[in-house]
């Protein structure tokens, strides 16, 4: 049986190195490529042709959210497992809606990571038990958050603004006009009931959309 080909996408060299060392010790799994950003993942995926992609979320540029969304459309045969520090908030649900088929935290044991890779490669989903419980609770009446009212594109723009990206940079990364990004910003301020980008950033941290530095 052929090895499961895995691509690692994370902007931290040490994390990619550690993941490679861990996975190379596992029979039936082969790390075929690495990328340090969502853009690089999109560039390398065609040549690497991985079966499974382990995807971080907080990265420079378009980040893992947008990369996951694009990969699910352009390379649906490549199964994306989100591997991140974010275990709470709306991100797990929204990333699964964007096309991810697995969700793990970086604190998971290597045995669970291997199990997730094997299951998604076989066409199944894998969600860490703690995250699956959270997703179930989020479906209960009265558990919706402000973030749930945002569209996928609004959520992506929110994350990018909250990471300090300027309008022109977001415009270039998402292939949208600066005017469109400004419209999204205004709409986000209204929907989230905030008056500026700093308040929006604090809200994003509160809801687990990005790490607090």
Could you read off the pLDDT of 90-120 as tens digits, one per residue?
Answer: 788 888 999 999 999 888 999 999 999 999 9
3-class SS at 58? coil
Residues 73 and 101 in one domain: yes
Residues 93 and 155 in one domain: no
What is the spatial distance between Cα 7 and Cα 35, in angstroms, rounded to a whole number?
8
Residues 19 and 95 in one domain: yes
Domain hosting residue 131, numbered range:
4-138
Q: Which residues contact 168 (CB under 8 A, 6 or more apart)?
A: 178
Could you read off the pLDDT of 13-55 as tens digits, one per residue?
Answer: 999 999 999 999 999 999 999 999 999 999 999 999 999 999 9
Give the tokens for residue 211.
């790490």
Residues 8 and 113 in one domain: yes
3-class SS at 66? helix
Residues 48 and 122 in one domain: yes
Give the tokens for residue 95.
């990333």
Residue after which a domain boundary falls, among 90, 112, 138: 138
Q: Which residues pair with 7 in a beta bridge?
A: 33, 53
Residues 62 and 120 in one domain: yes
Phi–psi pair at 146, nearest 5 degrees? -55, -35
Residues 119 and 163 in one domain: no
Q: Give the residue-averaged pLDDT of 202-212.
A: 77
Which band of pLDDT confidence, cut at 50, 70 and 90, is reported for residue 213?
very low
> CATH no. for residue 125?
3.40.50.2300
Could you read off the pLDDT of 160-195 as tens digits, one per residue?
Answer: 998 889 999 999 989 899 999 999 999 999 999 999
pLDDT at 141 exceeding the cut of 60: no
* Domains: count for the chain: 2
Could you read off the pLDDT of 76-85 as tens digits, one per residue?
Answer: 999 999 998 8
Give the tokens for residue 206.
């509160």
């Amino acid at each position: 049986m052929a090895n499961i080909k895995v691509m690692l996408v994370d902007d931290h060299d040490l994390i990619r190195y550690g993941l490679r060392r861990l996975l190379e010790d596992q029979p039936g799994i082969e790390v075929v490529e690495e990328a340090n950003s969502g853009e690089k993942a999109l560039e390398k995926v065609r040549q690497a042709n991985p079966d499974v992609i382990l995807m971080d979320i907080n990265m420079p540029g378009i980040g893992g959210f947008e990369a996951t969304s694009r990969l699910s459309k352009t390379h649906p045969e490549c199964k994306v497992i989100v591997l991140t520090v974010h275990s709470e908030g709306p991100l797990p649900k929204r990333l699964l809606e964007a096309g991810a088929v697995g969700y793990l935290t970086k604190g998971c044991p290597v045995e669970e990571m291997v199990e997730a890779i094997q299951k998604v490669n076989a066409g199944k989903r894998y969600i860490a038990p703690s995250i699956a419980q959270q997703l179930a609770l989020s479906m209960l009446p009265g558990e919706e958050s402000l973030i749930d009212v945002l569209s996928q594109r609004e959520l992506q723009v929110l994350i990018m603004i909250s990471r300090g990206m300027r309008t022109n940079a977001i415009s270039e990364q998402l292939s949208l006009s600066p005017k469109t990004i400004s419209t999204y910003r205004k709409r986000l301020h209204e929907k989230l009931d905030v008056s500026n980008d700093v308040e929006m950033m604090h809200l994003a941290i509160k809801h687990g959309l990005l790490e607090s530095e």
